[in-house]
Amino acid sequence: MPTDRRHARSARPAEALEHYLRAAATRHGYLAVALADVCGRLLAGTPGAQSIAQAAPLVDAARGREDLRVIDGVRGDQPLRVWSVLIGGISCYLATLGGDPVPPHDAPVALNRMVAAAA
């Protein structure tokens, strides 16, 4: 009989997203994880995710010294990584601070499943 490896579950999509991102942070050693829209608004994340959500669009398209200053202020001495993801048909960013350089490979599938449950 298969066992469910998830410890925290929720039928509410917003809460399920938070649980998933916290588990991903633990699994990959991230200090923070954010799901952000293209304007840098935090859609879901771990504690400390607000600033990396705001920086995500800048990381994706850093254009000048001011952008780089903002990015450096957010990341400190930790790597800040940003990946474009399509969630529920909407362009978003998955941003991580510190930890594993590889994104959670299952993130787009898992996040889309949770968003679809809200529809």
pLDDT of 64-96, one tens digit each?
677 667 777 777 888 888 999 998 899 999 999
- What CATH number does residue 31 fall under? 3.30.450
Per-residue confidence at 3, pLDDT binned at 50, 70, 90?
Answer: very low
Assigned domain for 35 exists: yes
> Global pTM?
0.80
Give me the number of domains the chain comprises.
1
Domain that holds residue 61: 13-118
Strand order in the sheet with 42-45: 42-45, 32-37, 90-97, 80-87
> How far apart are alpha carbons 113 and 111 in whole angstroms?
5
DSSP string, 92-119: EEEEEESS-SS--TTHHHHHHHHHHHH-
pLDDT of 36 reads 95
52 vs 2, 21, 46, CA distance in Å?
36, 14, 10
- In 3D space, the residue among 71, 84, 86, 81 whose CA is nearest the CA of residue 102 turns out to be 81
- Residue at 3 is within a domain: no
Q: Is there a domain that residue 110 lies in?
A: yes
Q: Please report whether residue 78 resides in a domain.
A: yes
CA separation for the pair 91, 48 (Å, rounded): 22
